Amino acid sequence: MQDDSQLKISTDDDAQPASAGSRRWLTTLVVLGLSLLVALALAEGLVRLADGLGWVNLSASLAELPAAGAEEGVQLDAADGEQPLYVSDRRLHHRMAANWSGFFPEEIVQEVGRSQVPIRTNSLGLRSAEVAEPKPADLFRILALGDSVTFGWGLRGEDAYPSQLASLLATLRPQQQFEVINAGVSGYGPWQEALWLEQVGQELQPDVVVVQAHLNDAADDLWGALGQGAGQQGWLAQHSLLARLVQRVIGAPTPTNSAPCAADWKVGSDQVCWQRTEQYLDQLRAAAGQSDAVTVLMPSPMRWQVEAGVRDPRAWVDAARYQEALRQYAAANGWLFVDPLPAFRKSAAANGGQSLFLDVGHPNEAGQRLMAQELYSALNQAGVLP
């Protein structure tokens, strides 16, 4: 009995220093945790300060944004007052609602000296007339993919280049039945256009697929691939600029062949790897090839490329090699390349500098007409048209 009592007393005495040691470890962990939180908060503050001062640009690209719900979509005025034009799509980030009728917001059209401008979509959610399926045998169908330029931002549907191209074809080739489908969606880039073509566009059996490119496509594609591959960014990346910076620095996988990216440009945190865009264009061409369609790549001009004294405030645009990079890609990969920029410059010089743009990147009716004319000439000279 004595030995048992001594054993019990010895065990209790040993437990006291063990308990004190556990409390010390817990205190240390709490202090370390609080110190880490303070350090992260300071780092977040410094990154936000740098972003606010313009030292870095951590604004989210389209594909890094969370999918927009009906209440988060771009709220263009609907005729029935119920549904926005842009609705959420799990794969594409957003799409246009089908059979939608409404108008551009007054603040947009008033800025460019216009009155009420209507927007209507068909049953496919496109700013185009209804599309017959299957395609009639005697119909030559041209599918125009692109962003807000193809969509006709700030313009009537008939003023966008796809409609103007359709008018040209009807006038110059009345013996043949043509259809030009406007599949432009504001905010879209090649990664979304490739997915949409695979999901929907192939079923339309196009004879020609036109991809209108824009200067910001390559930047969105570089970071946008992250959002495409993982659905959407998590809560932390959406709300923390520090997390977004870390993800951009180490989160993007290095391309298997990084040589094409080595010659591309990087200014501050703005970076473009054209290889990413070229991968999506390859995907687009492969999808178009399912219907033996001819693929056309047409970069839309920027205002600062045409009008003297107009500059883009973003430091990286001069280094983007915009048209030249796409021209080289098209020549090496079997695309028909159409560059409206020379025609824009010639027209601006001949018309006393009269603007062809609504803003820095959206052509007005005259600019859209030039795009349609250049596209028609290229299709005709290449022997693509029947």
| 69 C-beta neighbours (distance < 10 Å), count | 10
Report how far apart, in Å, the C-alpha atoms of 27 and of each of 21, 30, 33, 160, 230 are. 10, 5, 10, 67, 38
Strands in the chain per DSSP E:
77-78, 86-89, 93-96, 101-103, 118-120, 139-146, 177-184, 208-213, 266-267, 270-271, 294-299, 336-337
- Residue 315 is predicted with a pLDDT of 55
Please report, as a single letter, which amino acid is at residue 202: Q
CB neighbours of 106 closer than 8 A, spacing ≥ 6?
Answer: 116
Residue 245 Cα to chain centre, angstroms: 20
- Both tokens of 66, joined, read 């969370």
| pLDDT for 382 | 98
Distance CA(218)–CA(224), nearest Å, equals 9
Identify the pLDDT of residue 226: 42
162 φ/ψ angles, rounded to the nearest 5 degrees: -60, -40
Domain boundaries, the chain: 62-381
pLDDT value of position 47? 83
The full DSSP string for 278-305 is HHHHHHHHHHHHTTT-EEEEEEPP-HHH
Residue 384's region, left for phi above 0, alpha for psi from -120 to 50, else beta, is alpha
- What is the distance between the alpha carbons of residues 1 and 130, in angstroms, rounded to a whole number? 98
Alpha carbons 236 and 245: distance in angstroms, whole number: 11
CA–CA dist 348, 163 (Å, integer): 23
Q: What is the pLDDT of residues 35-83, one digit of tens each?
A: 888 998 898 888 888 877 767 766 654 334 333 333 333 445 444 556 7
CA atoms lying within 13 Å on the CB side of residue 226: 23
Can you list the residues of the chain whose pLDDT is less than 50? 1-2, 5-10, 61-75, 77-79, 223-233, 252-260, 262-263, 268-269
Q: CB-hemisphere CA count at 13 Å for 310?
A: 14
Q: Is the dihedral of CA 180, 155, 99, 92 positive or negative?
A: positive
Query: Alpha-carbon distance 341 to 348, whole Å?
Result: 11
Residue located via tokens 């959206």: 362
> Do the Cβ atoms of 215 and 146 come closer than 8 Å?
no
CATH for the 62-381 domain, from 3.40.1280.10, 3.40.50.1110, 2.40.110.10, 1.10.10.10: 3.40.50.1110
DSSP state of 248: I
Please tell me the predicted confidence (pLDDT) of residue 313.
62
Q: What is the predicted pLDDT for the residue at 93? A: 82
In the numeric block, the tokens 């962003």 are attached to 147
pLDDT for the residue 72:
35
**Residue 317, pLDDT score:** 64
pLDDT at 266: 52
Q: How far apart are alpha carbons 203 and 133 in whole angstroms?
A: 8
Give the per-residue pLDDT at 169.
Answer: 98
Express each pLDDT in 188-223 by its tens digit.
Answer: 989 899 999 999 999 999 999 999 998 777 655 554
Q: How far is CA 385 from CA 52, 294, 362, 378, 380, in A?
A: 51, 10, 28, 10, 6
Q: Which amino acid is at 61?
A: S
Q: What is the pLDDT of residue 184?
A: 97
Contact 368, 152 (CB under 8 A): yes
Q: So what's the pLDDT on residue 206?
A: 98
pTM of the predicted protein model: 0.73
Task: For the chain, give the number of residues.
Answer: 386
